[in-house]
Each structure stands twice: as structure tokens, then as C-alpha cells.
Amino acid sequence: MIIVTGGAGFIGSAVVWRLNKAGIDDILIVDNLTHNDKWKNLVNRQFTDFIHKSKFLDLLSKNSFYPVDSIIHLGACSSTTETDADYLMENNFHFSQKIARYCIRRDIRFINASSAATYGSGENSFSDSSDISYNLKPLNMYGYSKQLFDLWALKTDAVKKLVSLKFFNVFGPNEYHKEDMRSVFYKAFFQVKETGCIKLFKSYKKEYPDGGQLRDFIYIKDCVDVIWWFLNNRDKTGIFNVGTGTASTWNDLAKAVFLSMDKKTDIKYIDMPDSLKDKYQYYTCADTNKLRGAGCQIKFTTIKEAAKDYIQNYLIASDPYL
């Protein structure tokens, strides 16, 4: 059995899609379906059972799911604007610790979702080498909660027995329930559909023009291919970036959306909320040397190719779900 925590969420349901593609359906999904349409991510998927996340740790401690082959832990609060630090500490840090310890004691493959938010503004680079991890300064509590798990794994040497993946700017099908945390690709598509233009934040740093802020955008299908690779290469452990290694501007993103919709480019620049100005990342780009050095040679989808697939095969399709 493979357990996927957060299995009804964005990356989690895409992982289940990838497992199903490989002919695997002995899957236990752990999640919380309250108050949104997250359940729709599961309609096209095949799995054995579903349990609420509040029951998971107790049942796990009782070996209720034996035998377990792997746990892919994607179940966490992913909101970068969440301000309840106690909630994030318990949900994102302690919960992850407990599952990791369980897996390590029983030699179960454990793959954890970390985040590029751990890098903060990137003043200490975007390297996933262990020596720099101690110097990172996340800009929000979400990033800090993810950083705490990675630091715990490093300090205890648990990192030698697990995988923690720092996802960069992920976008694609099944993100629809994420509300304000949905990708700009998704938001831009509907802006064009409704108004004919795309709104982007103005820049407040002279070295970046409006819309020239840079991000490492990675398509959800590439992310789950990386997870699949780690499932099949169990000798590979450690903390790894999951990004393309290429930074694109918000203007590049907007142009890719217009191109995929066969529309004329029309970008309007708007003021950034004051609450974001001191927490805004102007540049992110994954250092992929460690991932490539481990042997993962997945070819990442370009921003134009990904936008075309996402928009034409999902957002304007009768069934937008994986």
C-alpha cells in the first residue's frame, strides 16, 4: 500500500493520477474535505480507501495499515498568508515529524513536501546543499514551518533515510480549490476570458521592470514525475529542489497564456498591497545540480508548452481534472 497524505489536494491528487497511470491503485488517501470542492480532485482517480487526517496518526501508530510500502506526505497547510503560527507549527512541522519517525523505524519510503518558500528572498542563493540550509530566512510562517522540518531532518540525520522536496512555483490541473493560493496561470486565464487583459503587480525594485519579477514555474506533471522517480530510486535520500532551473518573468507567463488562448497580449500593472511588499520574492530559481547529480534526468516542460497543455486540455475542456 502507498499512503498519500493530502491526497485530495493539488499535488496529492496529481500523485494519485501518476500512480494510477503506472497501474497502482492500492492507495490510502489521507485528507480533510471540509468546506471546499477538493473532493472533485478524486472523482477520476482509483484508490483503496480514504480517512480523515484527524484519525491518521492514531491509526498509523497502531499499525492499522500494515503493510505500508511508502508514505508520500503532501498533507499540510500550503497557504503562504496563514498567520496562525501555532497551527502551522503543529500541522506542518510536528505532524510531519511523527510520520517521518514512524517510517524510519520501519524502513518505509518517506517522501515529504517542503517548499521553495524556505529560501525567503534568496539572499543565500537557492541551493539545496545541506550546508546552506542553516542560513535560510523564510519570509513567512509557512516557509518557516517547512524549514523547521528540513532542519530537524538534517540535525538528526533523518535526512539520510528520507526525501524532502522543495517545490518551486507549481501550477496546473487540480489546483482549483486553492482559492487565493491558485496559480497566476489559473487567475490569468480567467482574467483574459472575462476582461481581455491580465493584471500584474508593479515592481518596487529598480532592477526589475513592472512584470519583470522572476519565478521558477514548474508544471504539476513534472513534479509528480520527480516524485515517481524517487519512489523508484530508494537509495536516493536528502533534500532536493523541484524546479526547472529556469526563471521566467510574469510577463513571460502572461504572454504564454495569451498565446495559448489565441488572444492579443494586453497587460495592465497594478499596485501591490502594502501587506505583501516586504514579503514579496522578486526572484526564485531552483539550483537543480543536486537533483541531476542524483540521476534524475526528467525533461521539464517549458512555460509555453505547459500553458498550452493546462489551458487547452484542462481549463477549456469539459472535464478540467486529472
- Residues 151-176: tens digit of each pLDDT: 999 999 999 999 999 999 999 999 99
Counting the structural domains of the chain, the total is: 1
Q: Assess contact for 167 and 175: CB atoms under 8 A.
A: no
Would you say residue 237 lies in a domain?
Answer: yes
> For cell 519512489, what's the residue?
231
Is residue 39, in this structure, part of any structural domain at all? Answer: yes
Q: Answer whether residue 265 is part of any domain.
A: no
Q: Model confidence over 261-313: pLDDT tens digits?
A: 999 999 999 999 998 888 788 999 999 999 999 999 999 999 999 999 999 99
Query: What residue numbers bound the domain in which 60 lies?
Result: 2-170+217-244+286-300
What does DSSP say about strands 248-249 and 214-215: parallel, antiparallel, or unpaired? antiparallel
Cis amide leading into 67 (omega within 30): yes
Q: Does 312 reside within a domain?
A: no
pLDDT, averaged across the chain:
95
CA angle centred on 205, ends 202 and 208, rounded to 5°: 75
Check 119, 142, 176, 219 and give the catalytic one.
142
Does pLDDT of 1 surpass 90? yes
53-61 and 95-105 are packed helices; what angle lies between their axes, rounded to 10 degrees? Answer: 30
| Domain assignment of residue 212, yes or no | no
Q: How confident is the model at residue 230 (pLDDT cuts 50, 70, 90)?
A: very high
Q: What would the pLDDT profile of 13-37 be if each residue is shown by its tens digit?
A: 999 999 999 999 999 999 999 878 9
Helices (H), 157-219: 184-195
Residue that the C-alpha cell 513534479 belongs to = 223
Q: Which of 200, 206, 316 is nearest to 265 (CA)?
A: 200
What's the CA angle centered on 47, arms 44 and 52, to 5 degrees?
105
Bridge partners (DSSP) listed for residue 57 = none
d(CA 216, CA 27): 31
Cell (9 digits) for 137: 530566512
Expressed in angstroms, the distance from the first to the final Cα of the chain is: 21
Q: Tell me, what CATH number does 155's domain have? A: 3.40.50.720
Distances (CA, A) of 232 to 166, 225, 235, 275: 19, 11, 9, 43
On whether residue 95 sits in a domain, the answer given is yes
Question: In whole angstroms, what is the distance from residue 281 CA to residue 149 CA?
Answer: 22
- pLDDT at position 68 is 97
Active site residue 142: yes
> How far is Cα 287 from Cα 301, in angstroms, rounded to an integer?
17
Residue 314 lies in a domain: no
Whole-model pTM: value is: 0.95
Backbone angles phi, psi at 28, to 5 degrees: -105, 125
Distance CA 72, CA 112 (A): 6
Note whether residue 182 is domain-resident: no
C-alpha grid cell, residue 54: 484527524
For the stretch 200-223, pLDDT in tens is 999 999 999 999 999 999 999 999
Q: How far apart are CA 212 and CA 196, in angstroms?
A: 21
DSSP letter at 301?
P
Query: Which entry of 178, 199, 236, 308 is annotated as an active-site residue?
Result: 178
